[in-house]
Amino acid sequence: MVAIKNRYDFVYLFDVKNGNPNGDPDNGNMPRIEPQSQKGLVTDVSLKRKVRNYVELVKGGQPPHAIYMQERAVLNNQHKKAYDALGIPPETKKLPKDNGKARELTRWMCTNFFDIRAFGAVMTTEVNAGQVRGPIQMTFAESIDTIVPQEVSITRSSVTNERDAEKERTMGRKHILPYALYRSHGFISASLAGDETKGTGFSEEDLDLFFEALCNMFDHDRSAARGEMNACKLIVFKHALPLGNARTQDLFARVGISKKDGVVLPRAFSDYNVTIDRENLPSGIEIIEPCSGHGHGTG
């Protein structure tokens, strides 16, 4: 596997309809909200979880795409049988003695586990090499407009406990957003993928898989709480140089999102105009839209 040679910055748009994209445990599982701006938030870890689950699903948990941080919910019983001898030679390249042992371990983990190659991990070794910084850095997604969560009371006609038997009905609660469009930013560092000592070996193939996960992961994450969630657009800025060719804030500013004329309450992705300024791109910058072929984001 050859590590990636380019830096990437990406803008990721996804939306939710009549669902809760990410509950806030401090707030009775209401959708997360930034109190001052009243905009919705989805945490980075929530998005990473879905990426992991997608890769798990597609690759069946097989090395070199095994997933280290697993959820019991997505474990399928096939795994246990499927782990046969890997045939991956433990790399025994001579390394400086002080942290060579830890390096060997972290490298082996990177070779086998997709999520460690992509996002990094912390391991219990004393030396610094026990910490792997992955090349992918994801940030909180923020909604384009303010959100107004609705509380929906629901009833259920059966009860769990014997002692409630005469009640016949119990009430429950759901929080939903009628509609919200979220924007998230991410960064992929070529240096942290390919650096001689720190690199995780995150490859071009891994990169394609990661983008595929972003485009499709909500399709495999359906649940009663989520409502309809969809990836709308993934706009990737590819830099020719590993250290980059342009400032991220200038690139991200090229992606503009606004409500269409006459729309007061957006209720669909088609209520928004998404513009990508392709004029006078800095030299060495290329715009890629990996989700275009996935039947999403037609807006």
Partner 1 sequence: MAYGVRLKVWGDHACFTRPEMKVERVSYDVMTPSAARGILEAIHWKPAIRWVIDAIHVLNVPRFQSIRRNEVGGKAPAGKIRSAMKRGDLEGLQILVDEDRQQRASTVLVKPAYVIAAHFALTDKADGDDTEGKHLDVFNRRARRGQCFHQPCLGTREFAASFELVEPGEPTPGPAPADRTSQLGFGTPRDLGFMLWDIDQASGKPSLFFRATLADGVVQVPRPGSPEVRG
Binding site for partner 1 (CB under 8 A): 9, 24-26, 32, 34-36, 41, 43-45, 63, 66-73, 75, 80, 83-88, 90, 102, 105, 108-109, 112, 121-125, 130, 133, 135, 137-140, 142, 185, 187, 189, 191-192, 241, 243-250
CB of 108 to partner 1, least distance (A): 5
CB of 179 to partner 1, least distance (A): 22
- 236 sits in which H/E element: strand 228-239
CB of 278 to partner 1, least distance (A): 18
Nearer to partner 1, 31 or 297 (CB): 31
Give the CA diameter of the chain. Answer: 73
Please tell me the number of Cα atoms within 13 Å of 70 on its side-chain side. Answer: 16
Nearer to partner 1, 102 or 213 (CB): 102
Nearer to partner 1, 161 or 283 (CB): 283
Please state, in angstroms and rounded to a whole number, the distance separating the CA atoms of residues 104 and 111.
Answer: 11
Question: How many other C-beta atoms lie within 10 A of the C-beta of residue 9?
Answer: 22
Distance of CA 224 to the CA centre of its chain: 20
CB of 184 to partner 1, least distance (A): 10
Both tokens of 68, joined, read 């280290």
Please state, in angstroms and rounded to a whole number, the distance separating the CA atoms of residues 116 and 135.
Answer: 10
Angle at 295 between CA 71 and CA 42, to 5 degrees: 40
CB of 169 to partner 1, least distance (A): 30
Nearer to partner 1, 81 or 278 (CB): 81
CB of 292 to partner 1, least distance (A): 25
Torsion of CA 23, 73, 139, 297, to 10 degrees: -90
Nearer to partner 1, 133 or 259 (CB): 133
Nearer to partner 1, 20 or 245 (CB): 245
